[in-house]
Amino acid sequence: MLLGLTAWLSVFACVEAPPLAPEVPSYQPHEDTGSIQPPAPPNILLIYTDQHRADTIAAAGHPVAITPALDSLASQGVLFNRMYTNGPVCRPARAAMMTGLYPHQAGVTTNVEEIDPRGISHVRRIRDEAGYHTALVGKAHLYSGHTQHADTFKPRLESMGFEDSFEQVGPTEQTWRPTAYSDYLESTTPPGDESKWDRLSDYTEAYDFSFPGHDAPPWNIPTEDHADVYAGRIAAEWLRNRDPSRPFYLQLNFPGPHHPFSATQEYRDLYDPTDPDFPVPVLMQPDGPVAPLIETLLHIKGEDWDASDARQLAADYLAGVTLIDDAIGGVLDTLQETGELDNTWIVYSSDHGELLGDHNLTGKIAFYEGSWRVPLIIRPPQGLEPWQSEALVDTVDMTASLLEMAGLNPEPLAAGTSLVQKVYAGPDALDANDHRRFIFGANMGNFAVRTEQWKLTYDDTLNVPRAVELYDMENDPFEVTNQVNEPAYADKVAELTELLEATLNNSPVP
């Protein structure tokens, strides 16, 4: 059926929406089989950002990105160049990350639905079966909190497995939903000054923050008070004060670089949008037919970006990426100071990407590469000789990997396969650039499969399920020529549709 206005707006802005109660598989414990591990139980640090597209890291080849902390992780681990989220929108992606299930299996394919806190959770298993001290710092976005203080939901997060939680909300909610972060802003406002939290509202009123824009002003409070800087600082404090008798699992979920692109001026000054090395987005519209989801996105937030404005947008976005990278550097320094760095798995990824003007769109939702593909860096304890993998991998693989890092089996219902052994096997292994046959994605009644060469998207919003896009990713990497109705590709459309429908129906894959 067609989504209502509330659902659409909740997707675009990643705001909270009224909760639903989907049915999800019940949690069942499993035996610990062990894996390759250092002598002591390793710590696990998952750094999970919001809306970071895969190619905006220097180590991934971006010509002007300033990301020394992420580059350092990549120089001691594996960079997976073809990592995909299972849902290119906030809550479906996070449901897949928490459960290890595809979004439709977890019952979350929009920002309106939410996971059952009593259902499958890799964090709960790491806490209860492996004995880890678990914590969340930053944005959870796993439930609908409305205007209640985030601390109200600590019991819910504890049920999911987080022994400690320091929850923040996203940039579009933080002006009106109280959290420990807003408490901090209020408590550190000098007497007689306008509240720093109120100044966030002033910031969002300065332009339309619902969608990214190239005229967004810089953050109007000091850098040390920025939400992403605050998240990094709280994570470092937790690492210094945690229970040292147990290994830790810390999920550090930065609220950025989600729009509004709100880095402070000192970070914006690092980028010159007139630099000719700045990449220009894919400004061409795809040839027809245009998929219904893309038509809707173009109607709601399409814009004819020219190269100059697109570079300015990218500069503002990269300023936020670099701000977060600095905060990550501070957390890594803390691990070094506490003597834990060499016994810690560090995983970096994001819930979805950012189109940055590709096909005249910004934000996420579409299954175009800028939105669907995300970073993945895995740095094992003590590091290793760096290498890059071209294997197709996805969020549920990352979740299976987190379980193996803690010495646990994957969920029997989960589609993910751990990457731990691949990381250790190295670039000379026969399967270094092979992993899974296809990637599956789901959001808002739209679905997609991505194979080595092909990408097919599928629409079910009008109760007339059908393939709506087919791209040859080897010969059309910018996704300009939609081949879905070309007779020469009818067999390929049928093959990929059968693959997608089997996955969607939880049936054996042909």
436, 469, 486 - which closes a domain: 436
User: Please, are residues 200 and 185 in contact by the beta-carbon 8 Å criterion?
Assistant: yes
Tens-place pLDDT, residues 414-432: 889 999 999 999 998 888 8
pLDDT band at 206 (very low <50, low <70, confident <90, very high): low
Residues 210 and 229 in one domain: yes
Scan for tokens 């062990």, then name that residue. 34
498 half-sphere exposure, CB direction, 13 A CA radius? 8
**Predicted local confidence at residue 20, as pLDDT:** 35
**Does pLDDT of 36 surpass 60?**
no
Q: How far apart are CA 205 and CA 197, in angstroms?
A: 13
What pLDDT was estimated at residue 109? Answer: 86
> Quick check: 202 pLDDT over 80?
no
Q: How far apart are CA 134 and CA 154, in angstroms?
A: 13
Percentage of the chain modeled with pLDDT above 70: 90
Q: Is 331 within 8 Å of 252 (Cβ atoms)?
A: yes
**Cα R_g (the chain), whole angstroms:** 21
Does residue 4 carry a pLDDT above 50? no
Q: Are residues 432 and 449 in the same domain?
A: no
Task: Supply the range of the domain harboring residue 284.
Answer: 5-436
pLDDT at 204: 67
Whether 387 contacts 74, CB under 8 Å: no
Is the pLDDT at 37 greater than 80, yes or no? Answer: no
pLDDT by residue (tens digit) across 155-199? 999 999 999 999 998 887 888 889 999 999 999 999 988 888 888
Whether 422 and 468 map to the same domain: the answer is no
Predicted confidence at residue 287, as pLDDT, reads 78
On whether both 348 and 421 belong to a single domain, the answer is yes
| Max Cα–Cα distance, the chain, nearest Å | 71
**Do residues 339 and 286 both lie within one domain?**
yes
Q: How many domains does the chain have?
A: 2
Q: Which tokens hold the place of 416?
A: 């993910």
- Lowest mean pLDDT across 136-150, 224-238, 328-342, 488-502: 136-150
Segment 229-257 shows an average pLDDT of: 96
The whole-number pLDDT of residue 283 equals 84
For 426-478, what is each residue's pLDDT tens digit? 998 888 888 999 999 999 889 999 999 999 999 998 778 899 999 999 999 99
Q: Angle of helix 395-405 relative to helix 90-99, nearest 10 degrees? A: 30
Percent of the chain with pLDDT over 90: 64
- Which residues neighbour 308 within 8 Å (Cβ) at sequence distance 6 or greater? 273
Element (H, E) at 467: strand 466-472
pLDDT in tens, 343-370: 999 999 999 999 999 999 999 999 999 9
187, 215: one domain:
yes
Residue 27 CA to residue 407 CA, distance in Å, equals 18
What mean pLDDT comes out for the span 281-303? 86
Instruction: For residues 450 and 418, state if they share a domain.
Output: no
Sign, Cα dihedral of 292, 293, 299, 303: negative
Q: Answer yes or no: do 20 and 49 share one domain.
A: yes
From 380, 407, 436, give the residue that closes a domain: 436
Burial of 97 (0-12, 13-18, 19+ CB in 10 A): buried
Q: Would you state the pLDDT for residue 39?
A: 58
Residue 16: band (very low, low, confident or very high) from pLDDT cuts 50, 70, 90: very low
Residue 18 is predicted with a pLDDT of 37
Q: Across 313-434, where does the E strand assignment appear? A: 344-350, 373-374, 376-379, 387-394
pLDDT digits (tens, 9 = 90+) for 277-291: 898 888 887 777 899
Q: Identify the CA nearest to 403 among candidates 110, 81, 14, 129.
A: 129
Is residue 8 a contact partner of residue 299, using CB atoms and an 8 Å limit?
no
CA 480, 485, 491, 495 torsion: positive or negative? positive
Contact 439, 394 (CB under 8 A): yes
Lowest model confidence (mean pLDDT) among 226-235, 248-257, 292-301: 292-301
| Last residue in a domain, options 436, 471, 497 | 436
Kindly tell me if the per-residue pLDDT of 127 is higher than 90: yes
pLDDT in tens, 317-335: 999 999 999 999 999 999 9
Provide the CATH number for the domain around residue 466.
Answer: 3.30.1120.10
Q: Which residues are within 8 A (CB) of 63 and not within 5 positions of it... i.e. 6 or more apart?
A: 277, 278, 279
Q: For the domain that residue 183 is a member of, what is the CATH number?
A: 3.40.720.10
Question: In the predicted model, is pLDDT for residue 260 greater than 80?
Answer: yes
Highest mean pLDDT among 83-92, 103-112, 288-297: 83-92
Same domain (yes/no): 393, 421 = yes
Of 215 and 74, the structure prediction assigns the larger pLDDT to 74
Q: Which has more pLDDT, 125 or 147? A: 125
pLDDT number for residue 207: 57
Are 475 and 404 found together in one domain?
A: no
pLDDT band at 309 (very low <50, low <70, confident <90, very high): confident
Both 199 and 348 in one domain: the answer is yes
Q: Return the C-alpha torsion angle 491, 495, 501, 502, nearest 10.
A: 150
Sheet holding 466-472, edge to edge: 439-443, 446-450, 454-459, 466-472
pLDDT above 70 for 241? yes
Instruction: Return the sign of the alpha-carbon dihedral for residues 474, 479, 481, 484.
Output: positive
Mean pLDDT of the chain: 88
| In the predicted structure, residue 500 carries a pLDDT above the cut 50 | yes
Q: Quick one: 400 and 503 in the same domain?
A: no
CA distances from 96 to 115, 123, 363, 396, 442 (A): 10, 12, 20, 6, 10
